[in-house]
């Protein structure tokens, strides 16, 4: 019984981390302050190193002027291909494969009883995190674990940019199975070669995180 209780506690902690991360990685629009207030409330229930990491991102966002926060976000995630949060952008080398991989996300959402969001692509990391936190934890965990390598590449790109968002992505990585040597090699290869050059039209639950701006790069 104690093992089951610890497992449930761990699963709940992961869901809290995912929800906080989803809110922190969202575009800092007019709802930023409200989302940061929600993060602060949730962090009161988060234990372990993830709490401190998420709090560092939240503090950095609170310290920025809203316009500066928005400009920094665009510079971080839109102007750096290595920092894309569209997970299938890293794993599919052509448009047909990428469409099939995004269908995997959409199917997981529908199997859990929700429709994929219309405002955003189903493989967008904040969307996946919110799905894992609030809809289907096991299915969401599987999607995140299967895309551990792209998430690791993203973390490395944010670390290289000295971005406060790196702390949040690190907290997400801590909820996933440890990276294998093969994962590390794949991440290093992707970081060196960059994501696939092709882009496809994205056909993206009701989200609490705002959608990507129109014209944003995948």
Q: Please state the pTM of the whole predicted model.
A: 0.82
Residue 196 has pLDDT above 90, yes or no: no
Alpha carbon distances (Å) from 153 to 59, 103, 133 = 24, 22, 22
pLDDT: which is higher, 194 or 130: 130
Residue 205, pLDDT score: 53
- For residue 73, the model assigns a pLDDT of 96
At 213 the pLDDT is 55
Q: Parse the chain into domains and list their residue ranges.
A: 1-193
Query: Are the C-beta atoms of 121 and 131 separated by less than 8 Å?
Result: no
pLDDT at 101 (0 to 100): 84
Residue % of the chain over a pLDDT of 70: 75
Q: Mean of the per-residue pLDDT values for the chain? A: 84
Mean pLDDT of 85-103: 76
129-148: per-residue pLDDT in tens? Answer: 999 999 999 999 999 999 99
Residue with tokens 């969001």: 117
Residue (of 149, 26, 179) closest to 82 by Cα position: 149
Q: Which residue has the higher pLDDT, 161 or 207?
A: 161
> According to the model, what pLDDT value does residue 111 have?
96
pLDDT beyond 60 at 202: no
Position 118 scores a pLDDT of: 87
Residue 210 clears pLDDT 90, i.e. is over it: no
pLDDT of res. 150:
87
What whole-number distance in Å separates Cα of residue 205 and Cα of residue 132? 12
Give tens-digit pLDDT for 42-81: 999 998 899 999 999 999 999 999 899 999 999 999 877 7
Q: What CATH number has the domain spanning 1-193?
A: 1.10.3480
Nearest C-alpha neighbor of 62 from the set 28, 111, 22: 28
């Amino acid at each position: 019984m104690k093992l089951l209780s610890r497992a449930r506690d761990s699963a709940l902690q992961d869901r809290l981390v995912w929800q906080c991360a989803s809110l922190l990685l969202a575009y800092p629009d007019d709802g930023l302050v409200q989302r940061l207030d929600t993060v602060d409330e949730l962090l009161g229930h988060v234990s372990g190193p993830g709490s401190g990491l998420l709090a560092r991102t939240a503090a950095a966002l609170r310290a920025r002027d809203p316009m500066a926060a928005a400009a920094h976000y665009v510079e971080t995630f839109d102007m750096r291909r290595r920092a894309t949060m569209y997970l299938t952008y890293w794993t599919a080398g052509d448009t047909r494969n990428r469409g099939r991989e995004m269908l995997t996300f959409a199917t997981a959402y529908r199997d859990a009883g929700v429709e994929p969001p219309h405002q955003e692509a189903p493989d967008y990391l904040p969307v996946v995190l919110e799905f894992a936190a609030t809809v289907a934890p096991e299915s969401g965990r599987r999607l995140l674990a299967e895309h551990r390598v792209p998430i690791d590449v993203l973390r490395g790109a944010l670390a290289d940019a000295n971005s406060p968002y790196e702390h949040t992505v690190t907290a997400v990585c801590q909820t996933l199975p440890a990276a294998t040597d093969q994962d590390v090699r794949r991440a290093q290869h992707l970081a060196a070669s960059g994501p696939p050059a092709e882009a496809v039209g994205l056909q993206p639950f009701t989200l609490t995180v705002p959608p990507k701006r129109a014209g944003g790069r995948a």
